[in-house]
Chain A
Amino acid sequence: DIQLTQSPSFLSASVGDTVTITCRASQGISSYLAWYQQKPGKAPKLLIYGASTLQSGVPSRFRGRGSVTEFTLTITSLQPEDFATYYCQQFDSYPRTFGQGTKVEIK
């Protein structure tokens, strides 16, 4: 199975900050990586797929980059509604796997 390791697991930031979350895959997954945002008590929401393609309706302050084994999600100019938990997920092979999550909290 492909393991996804996110770092950091927890991040404290202020409104207006730029933050970057890293997701590392245990083996190459080309660009078959997605990023999701989840707020407490809510279902996850797709932000980015194919490592760098923004899902329709997602603000352009979210940016995904990377390929093969190393990927990043960058959020520029953090907004109050961006404080949430973020997960990466690979769709290169079965079983699908998620990273353990990165919680972004208000400093």
Chain B
Amino acid sequence: EVQLVESGGGLVQPGGSLRLSCATSGFTFTAYSMNWVRQAPGKGLEWLAYISSVGSPVYYADSVRGRFTISRDIAKNSLFLQMNTLRADDTAVYYCARNGYGDFRAEYLQEWGQGTLVTVSS
């Protein structure tokens, strides 16, 4: 069974940093590209970042480029999102999501974690 389990969310002050983790199991981690997606309270889905199966290339949404960094650790079968210079509008549930298997034609978000809540507030 495929499992994606996010952790690391919580309350952080504006300007602060947080590192989210996504522990994966049930599939060959090195064969799949991964993403982070977020959802602000009562709002729609916003794609944030992508990392290929081999760690490069990476892509970011304009809203987080330069502040957030996506990475992966194949030894731990885990995905990470380092978030710096956090703002109130970064408050959201953050999901990790795995793409389908294959090339660019399979880059839909096939598997999702349950999400972790990040609240940015003083």
A-side residues, CB < 8 A to B, are: 1, 32, 34, 36, 38, 42-46, 49-50, 55, 87, 89, 91, 94-101
B77 within 8 A of A: no
A-B contact pairs, 13 of them (CB 8 A): A36-B45, A42-B114, A43-B115, A44-B109, A46-B111, A89-B108, A89-B109, A91-B104, A95-B59, A95-B60, A95-B61, A96-B50, A100-B44
Q: Taking the nearest CB of chain A, how far is it from the CB of B65, in angstroms? A: 9
For residue B109, which residues in chain A have a CB less than 8 angstroms away from its CB? Answer: 34, 36, 44, 46, 89
Docked pose: A38 CA to B110 CA in angstroms? 13
Docked pose: A36 CA to B100 CA in angstroms? 14
Docked pose: A44 CA to B50 CA in angstroms? 17
Interface residues of B in 74-122 (CB under 8 A from A): 95, 100, 104-115
Q: Taking the nearest CB of chain B, how far is it from the CB of A65, in angstroms? A: 16
Q: Are A45 and B112 in contact (CB under 8 A)?
A: yes
- 8 A-B pairs closest in CB distance: A96-B47, A34-B108, A49-B108, A43-B112, A94-B59, A91-B107, A98-B45, A101-B44
B-side residues, CB < 8 A to A, are: 35, 37, 44-47, 50, 59-62, 95, 100, 104-115
Q: Are B46 and A98 in contact (CB under 8 A)?
A: yes
Give the interface centre of A46, A96, A100 by most chain B CB atoms within 10 Å. Answer: A96
Docked pose: A1 CA to B104 CA in angstroms? 18
Docked pose: A44 CA to B110 CA in angstroms? 10
Q: Which residue of A lies closest to B62 (CB)?
A: A95
For residue B37, which residues in chain A have a CB less than 8 angstroms away from its CB? Answer: 44
Q: Are A43 and B113 in contact (CB under 8 A)?
A: yes
For residue B115, which residues in chain A have a CB less than 8 angstroms away from its CB? Answer: 43
Q: Which residue of A lies closest to B60 (CB)?
A: A95
Q: Are A43 and B95 in contact (CB under 8 A)?
A: yes
